Structure 1
Amino acid sequence: MAHDLPHFLFQMTSLRISPDLLLYIYCGLIVLSVVPFGLVDILPQTLILILMCILGGVAVVLYGPPERGQWVFGTALAIFSLMALWILFQTVEIPFTRSDDLVWAKARTMAAAAKTISVEPADTLAALLQIALPAVTFLTGLIVADRSKDDQAMLRFLASAAGILAMYGLYQFLFLPDTLLGETKKAYQESLTATFVNRNTNATFFGLGLLMQLTLLFDSFLFKTDKASAELQSNATLPRLYYCFISLATFAALMLTQSRAGVFLTAFAILVYTPFLASQWLRIFPNSFVRLGSRWLRVAVVIAAACLGTGFFLLFASKAMLRANIQGLEDARFCIWPDVVRATYNNWLFGTGFGTFRTVFSGYRDSRCGIFNIFDRAHNTYLEGFLTLGVIFPVVALLVLAALLFIFWRGYRNRRRNRHYAVLGLAATILVWGHALVDFSIQIPGFSVFYAAFLSGVVCVCYKHTLKPAASKNAALHKYNNDEIELELIY
């Protein structure tokens, strides 16, 4: 009996804590990560990480690892463990030369410093939080979203949070233009910066939120017009108005950030996404138009959707391209990239230590790029990652990208009604990973946490349980938690 007591206590606890409650707590932590200036200070980073670890631990104890996409959970855990061990390895003393950089070798000899890969071991250990936060968020999100009855609940919450923050950003920009979260605004006076300090991070955040809101607006129209769904059809009016409103607010906030790359890449992501939404509508409701039995008519509708997406693309990108034409493409970030490449060449194997870019780059900086700016970041996540982490970074980045693309491909192949969520994940990845080429939005902890939560929600939609094949090869009717009957094809 004493041996069964712990198991009995866990059972009692699991009865009192519902999966939906854990999901609400999880989403609340995501919002807390975005609000305080994007979580750039180490104290709130540590607090959010502790709370997220506690939530993840409780979820694992109560429900175990996720059932959907178990290999995704295991792969993510393995990659995070590998990166954490590599970063710790960069901070321990080693008996061999860490790089071919003679400048740092002489400096260490003069200072009698320990032989570590990282030139600043303390900074490297502190920067480990930037890897741990999105990793733990993604792992925890897989568990809580897997146990939720509603697949889209997390994505709806994230989309609503982005819309509310966009409205707050508009209010702050119009009525309190010299303040940022109640403090005096010191940078980007002419741009909307809702809760993040950098306008480019705001643009990536609002672009991701807009993609989710447009998807949910599209979903609000996916109701059949038969008698069985008449009640659902009448109840869909309010969600449609709501998503229209927050989409317009987010669109306005995105444009007011005046971020060239953020606006351009959001427009490009929508351009890629729109034809898939059109084809999805035709696939689900082939009789919604005038007997779309003709393949040419289907192609015409998809082309029309692509033209509409192109129109949005031009509408989005025109102001950004005008700003680029006026200011030119001469930017300090482009000027320093050759110096970053040169530093990476000298430290390509083991790196200089995660989080040490500012310290290392000062020794490679060319005065022709100006002497007034201080570069804390390389404005290119891939270059900075290669420089500070070494050869392991491009390998891990390619593995993560390949895993994401496989997840989206599987979701698009195996889902029917919700296969556009896989394309949503692809469009968001184009936006976020593309912006990482010219800026550091994904390196801001608040945004990386938000993006990790978004990915966990998309993974759970892509890996939703499907019914086992029956004796016959006919399709099976599966009732979803939103009381809508969906025809799920079994492969």
Structure 2
Amino acid sequence: MASQTLRSKNDWVKVKMVNSGERRVQVGKIGEELNWGWIILALLAAVVTFTGGASRFDAIQIVPLRSLSALFLVWSLFFLSKEWLKAERALIILFACFALMVMLQLVPLPSRIWQSLMGRTGILQLDTALGLEGIWRPLTLTPMRSWNVLGSLVVPAAGLLLAIAVRASSLTLLRIVAGVGVVNALFGLLQIVTGRSSVLYYYEVTNRGGAVGVFANENHAAVFAACSMLVVTLLGLKAHKERSAVWERLIYPSAFFLILLVALTGGSRAGFVAVMGTVLVSMTMLALFPRPPKGIRAQQKVGRWFDQYPRLILAIPVFFVSLTAVAFLALDRTPAFRDILVINSFEDLRWSLWPVIIEMLEEHWALGTGFGSFEQVYHIYEPSALLMPSYVNQAHNDWAQFIIEGGALAGLLLTALVVWMVKAIKTMVFHRTQKVYAIFWMGIFAIVAAASLVDYPLRTPLFQLVAVWLLLALSRDARDISAT
């Protein structure tokens, strides 16, 4: 009986050792997958960061950008599964609908149908004069530009499917976005130091002398800085909540102040307002973030100090941010703020474009002019008073331009996206411990939406990639909260 008991105990020990070994193998495999997923996503982010900062269709950087993005897209198709796609079906359906809309605009239509469409009178008169009445034409007024838009979708498609294929978590996606924000700030800082002739201005059409970072447009760099500051704030709060290493809990505030410092030196008025709004939202998140339970004490000395003086930890960033902003304003080192005071906002070109944009909306709200067509179609409506040495290539109001180019279907698609976002954020608003996350998501999407009222940040491939990853991170956060 004793020997049988001993043998049972030995068998139990062996079984336990085998199970422990299996668990170690499983954990090792999971860790390996996560590491590879992180690396692959970071490689895609690096490619798009250094080649996807321009919104122009003729930027030479789009050649390596789309070629390499296509390789990432093909790679992701080999590792996708039906279950993973089903989990993110809402985002995939919305993206597929947009791609389908662009393709439908490129389908040639019989001449009689095309001639009966709204907003085609001027082109019809030219066809009549040239004897081209029977030509079949697509819905888009600029087929080559619409083909370019269709080709540009390879970047966000690669970002979306690759993140799903490697099962990237919300935390992983946000960390990569924060890393891109730091790189953007470092490039902007080096550009200011090295001057207008710096080789770091690697786009032909750019704002030389300003902190454009990895973008071609200073406005886009400033708006991206505002978004990345919010991401860094959330990551810092998560690191504090999860008792991460001290170096990780200190690196996020450092990144925040670096991005803020560079953003304040920029000349973008919209970006300056966005950054100031970001600071307020970040401080609100810090104030509302729940304290860890009193019974839990950190192992490190610095960690215990963080937990014992949470109010002081909140006061320190508020003090330094306020001091930095006041110092920049007092020393007249904020060109954007100076422009806000000097330039009459109603004399800005954006306001002068409004009558033209409204006229284009009235004629093309139903079917649209074709994605990517605004620059050329605008010439039909451009008044003599707005003729100038520079030219208008975007509406500087992406909400209106999206409807002008896509018509009513584009408006419905945009509405569906907004409804989905509201539904996802709503799950956090009414969750007692997730209100800070709701503030973060509302804040970051409000920044992009407000910036799109006066500019076109989402026309750049880098912003498109980041937007797709933010939407995917929101989807996963909302699903995790609903499951609890």
Q: Which band: TM-score by shorter chain? A: 0.7 to 0.9
Residue matched to 1:82: 97
Structure 1 position 190 matched with structure 2 position 199: no
Q: Secondary structure at the match of 2:108?
A: coil
Q: 1:267 to 1:120 in 2, by over 3 A?
A: same
Does the Cα contact within 8 Å between 2:374 and 2:393 map onto a contact in 1?
yes
Q: 1:393 aligned to 391, 400, 410, which one?
A: 410
* Alignment size in residue pairs: 420
Name the structure 1 match of 2:257. Answer: 248
1:421-458 Cα offsets, whole Å, 9 max, x none, are 34322211011111000001111112211222233233
Alpha-carbon shift at residue 183 of structure 1 (Å): 4.3
The partner residue of 1:376 within 393, 396, 399 is: 393
Q: Does 1:58 align with 2:78?
A: yes
> Deviations along 1:302-328, whole A, 9 cap, x unmatched?
xx99x959x859949964443212122
Unmatched runs of 5 consecutive residues or more in structure 1: 1-13, 224-231, 289-300, 468-489
Report how far residue 162 of structure 1 moved.
1.5
* Alignment partner of 1:279 out of 288, 291, 297: 288
Residue among 162, 182, 204 paired with 1:140: 162
User: Does the Cα contact within 8 Å between 2:45 and 2:176 map onto a contact in 1?
Assistant: no
- The residue aligned with 2:372 is 355
3-state SS in 1 of match to 2:216: coil
Higher mean Cα deviation, 237-246 or 347-356?
237-246
Q: Which of residues 266, 269, 275 in structure 1 aligns to 2:275?
A: 266
Displacement of 1:351 after TM fit?
0.8
Query: Contact between 1:52 and 1:140, CA under 8 Å: does it hold in 2?
Result: yes
CA distance in structure 2 between the aligned counterparts of 1:461 and 1:16, rounded to whole angstroms: 21
Q: Is the 8 A contact 1:130 1:443 kept in 2?
A: no
Structure 2 residue 172 is matched with structure 1 residue 157: no
Contact 1:138/1:455 (8 A) holds in 2 = no
Identity %: 19
- Preserved contact between residue 350 and residue 391 of structure 1 (Cα < 8 Å): yes
Match of 2:4 in 1: none
The 1:115–1:102 alpha-carbon spacing in structure 2 relative to 1, beyond 3 Å, is same
Which of residues 450, 453, 457 is equivalent to 2:473? 457
- Which position in structure 1 is the counterpart of 2:43? 28
1:115 CA drift (Å): 2.8
CA distance in 2, matches of 1:312, 1:51: 46
> What TM-score, normalized by structure 1, do the two folds share?
0.76
Q: Answer yes or no: is the 8 Å Cα contact 2:218–2:266 preserved in 1.
A: yes
2:12 alignment counterpart: none
1:298 corresponding residue in structure 2: none
Determine the structure 1 residue equivalent to 2:306: none
Indicate how the Cα distance of structure 1 residues 16 and 54 shifts in structure 2: closer, same or farther if over 3 A, else same.
Answer: farther
1:434 equivalenced with 2:434 (yes/no) = no
Deviations 1:110-135 (A, max 9, x none): 45243321112122111123445324
CA–CA separation in structure 2 for the residues paired with 1:401 and 1:130: 23
CA distance in 2, matches of 1:287, 1:240: 20
Deviations 1:17-61 (A, max 9, x none): 724312320222022112125155442342243123223313314
Q: Aligned partners of 2:51 and 2:214: how far apart in 1?
A: 7
Which of 241, 244, 251 is residue 222 of structure 1 equivalent to? 241
1:203–1:88 CA distance, 2 compared to 1 (3 A): same
What's the counterpart of residue 367 of structure 1? 384
Give the alignment's Cα RMSD to 1 decimal. Answer: 3.3
Q: Alpha-carbon deviation of 1:84?
A: 1.9
AA partner of residue 248 (structure 1): F
Distance 1:121 1:201 in 2: 27
**Which residues of 2 match residues 13-24 of structure 1 at below 5 A?**
18-24=33-39
Q: 1:181 aligns with which of 197, 200, 223?
A: 200
- What is the aligned partner in structure 2 of residue 116 from structure 1? 138
CA shift, 1:275, in A, is 2.6
Amino acid in the other structure paired with 1:362: H
Q: 1:151 to 1:115 in 2, by over 3 A?
A: closer
Partner SS, residue 463 of structure 2? helix
Take 1:108 and 1:16, find their aligned partners in 2: how far apart are those partners? Answer: 63
**Bigger proportion of residues as helix:** 2
Distance 1:241 1:101 in 2: 60
Structure 1, 174-183 or 199-208: larger mean CA deviation:
174-183
**Range moving further from structure 2, 428-437 or 446-455:** 446-455
Which residue of 2 is the match for residue 129 of structure 1? 151
Instruction: Give a deviation string over 1:380-433, Cα, whole Å, max 9, x none.
Output: 1111111111111222112111211211221444583x6533432221101111
1:47 is the counterpart of 2:67: yes
Is 1:179–1:185's contact at 8 Å kept on the other side of the alignment?
A: no
Question: Based on CA coordinates, which of the two structures has the bigger radius of gyration?
Answer: 2
CA contact (8 A) 2:233 2:282 kept: no
- Give the C-alpha shift of residue 250 in structure 1: 0.8
Q: 1:110 to 1:195 in 2, by over 3 A?
A: farther
* Partner SS, residue 137 of structure 2: coil
Q: Tell me what 1:342 maps to.
A: 359
Partner of 1:228: none
Q: CA deviation at 1:349?
A: 1.1
1:117-165 alpha-carbon deviations (Å, 9 max, x no partner): 1112122111123445324423432443xx35x6512212321231133
Q: Distance in 1 between matches of 2:192 and 2:34?
A: 38
Contact 2:44–2:159 (CA<8 Å) still a contact in 1? no
Q: Distance in 2 between matches of 1:378 and 1:136?
A: 27
Q: Which residue of 1 aligns with 2:221?
A: 202
Offset from partner CA, 1:66-124 (integer Å, 9 cap, x none):
57xx2xx2122222222222222212222312324421221343452433211121221
The amino acid that maps onto 1:38 is: G
Q: How does 1:4-15 map to 2 (within 5 A)?
A: none
Q: Please state how far the C-alpha of 1:182 moved relative to its aligned partner.
A: 5.8
Q: TM-score, normalised by structure 2?
A: 0.77
Match of 1:7 in 2: none
Q: Kindly indicate whether the alpha-carbon contact (under 8 Å) linking 2:45 and 2:180 is maintained by their aligned counterparts in 1.
A: no
- The residue that corresponds to 2:15 in the other structure is none
Is the counterpart of residue 213 in structure 1 residue 232 in structure 2?
yes
Give 2:143's aligned amino acid: P
Task: Tell me how far apart the structure 2 counterparts of residues 86 and 286 of structure 1 sit (CA, whole Å).
Answer: 55
Aligned equivalents of 1:338 and 1:214: distance in 2? 40
Cα separation, partners in 2 of 1:64 and 1:53, compared to 1, 3 Å: farther
**SS class of match (1:35):** helix
Q: CA deviation at 1:379?
A: 0.8
Change in 2 beyond 3 A, CA 1:347/1:336 = same
Name the CA distance, whole Å, in 1 between partners of 2:47 and 2:106: 31
Moved more, 350-359 or 265-274: 265-274
How far the C-alpha of 1:64 sits from its partner, in A, is: 4.2
